[in-house]
Amino acid sequence: MDICFLDNSSVDYTSEDLDSNKLRGAETVLINLSKELYKLGNSVTVYNNCNNDCILNGVKWINLNNIKNDFIYDISITNNDMNLFNKVKSRKYIAFSHSIQSIEKFIRKRQLLNYMKFRPKIVLLSEYHSKNRSILLKLFGTINLEWAIDEIFINTPINDGLIENRAIFTSRNDRNLDLLINIWKNHIYSRNKKTRLFVTPSSLIDNEFNIYERNFSSRDLLIKDLLKSRVFLIPGHKGELFCLAAEEARELCVPIVTLGLGSLSERVIHGKTGFIAKDNYQFAKYTLDILEDHNTWKELRNNLIKMRGLKKWNKVAISLLNQI
């Protein structure tokens, strides 16, 4: 089949940027899915804001301004922007929805008319996404997927000897980092001044409370930071529909503590791969349990080791095609 992706994000990227720090979850997903769909025998083109048109590992990368609307694709997939469907001709349309779409948001972004015009199926990423979607997203069908993990995470060896007395947060700053830091200062650091927290670069970093900036320059350094961390802390957020950051930590066998906000309760099996706290105090207790009790940490880690390698992008690509 002839498949194209449409993405108007401000990031100028291709698959060569997979190891850089400029990609967010949406771009990472598009790169991995385009590669796997090509491996399955499809012709794949990505239209985005890349600087130079090129072909990488069989996938064509073309700037949106260079689209020639004289070809009919079998499937066109947009990254969160229904208006991009106007740029191509296609037999079927799919929309990745990376946020909770409301009628108000559809109208504000002037996407409602094109949603009704092209009638795309919407990709849903979690139970939380399904339950909180607008009634609009039920009109033309849905596709249920769970994102996967890059091979580099799956193939990275696990070594208990690397573990330090530290916690880590690797998601975006606007995913309740301020809440996490508040819990850390008031309920965790006050009880264990030897442990450290490493977070995404932020003005909220405070060395006085053992809060430090994690490595942010490449994916390799992200992996090294995760391998050294004893626990992954992430409260969650109402806008979090999946959370690749949590899945990356899980694949590297780092137990997770969360408040379960958004879809985060679906990323953790309570008591097996981490803990889902009911409030800030319980969040702190679970964190300290993992940091201070070797048996608690080891049991969670052993469970995570048994679950490694289950989520791969080729499975996601096959599932996507089967549901179209």
Domain residue ranges of the chain, discontinuous segments joined by +: 2-149+312-323, 151-306
The tens digit of pLDDT for each residue in 288-323 reads 999 999 999 999 999 999 999 999 999 999 999 999
Q: What is the pLDDT of residue 135?
A: 76
- Residue in the block written with tokens 């985060």: 264
Q: For the chain, which residues score pLDDT lower than 70?
A: 101-103
Residues in Cβ contact with 131 at an 8 Å cutoff, skipping those fewer than 6 apart: none
- To the nearest whole percent, how much of the chain has pLDDT over 70? 99
Q: What is the pLDDT of residue 132?
A: 86
Six-digit token string for 315:
């499975």
Assigned CATH for 151-306:
3.40.50.2000
Q: What is the pLDDT of residue 102?
A: 67
Calpha distance 1→132 (Å, rounded): 33
Q: Using an 8 Å Cβ cutoff, are 218 and 170 in contact? A: no
Do 2-149+312-323 and 151-306 fold alike per CATH? Answer: yes
Q: What is the pLDDT of residue 319?
A: 97
- Give me the architecture of the 2-149+312-323 domain, per CATH: 3-Layer(aba) Sandwich (3.40)
Q: What is the pLDDT of residue 73?
A: 97
Q: What is the pLDDT of residue 224?
A: 95
